[in-house]
Amino acid sequence: MKTVTTPREVRETIDQAKSVGARVGFVPTMGALHEGHASLVRMARARTGFVAASIFVNPRQFGPKEDIARYPRAFEPDRRILEDLGCDLLFHPGVADLYSPADRTRVSVEGLSDVLCGAARAGHFHGVALVVAKLFNIVRPDEAYFGQKDAQQAVIIQRMAADLDFPVSIVLGSTVREVDGLAMSSRNVYLDSVSRAKAPAMYRALCAARERIKAGERSPSPLAAMMAQTMREAGFDVEYAAVVDGGTLGALERIEGTVLIACAGRIAGTRLIDNVALRVSGAAVEETLLEFPEWSAYVR
Enumerate the active-site residues.
Answer: 37
Contact 229, 265 (CB under 8 A): no
- Beta-carbon contacts of 216 under 8 Å, excluding residues fewer than 6 positions away, are 283
CA trace torsion 238, 244, 250, 256 (10° rounding): -160
Contact 229, 264 (CB under 8 A): no
Q: Determine the residue type at 33.
A: L
Exposed/middle/buried for residue 198 (C-beta within 10 Å: 0-12, 13-18, 19+)? middle
Within 13 Å and on the Cβ side, how many CA atoms surround 202?
32
- Give every strand in the sheet of 270-281, ordered side by side: 237-245, 257-267, 270-281, 284-287
What value does the CA radius of gyration of the chain take, rounded to a whole number of Å? 19
- Bridge-based pairing of strands 89-91 and 169-173 is unpaired
Task: Please state, as a whole number, how many other Cβ atoms lie within 10 Å of the Cβ of residue 135.
Answer: 23
Nearest to residue 299, comparing CAs of 183, 167, 188? Answer: 167
CA distance 123 to 63: 7
Contact 89, 101 (CB under 8 A): no
CA-CA distances (angstroms) from residue 194 to 153, 198, 236? 29, 7, 12
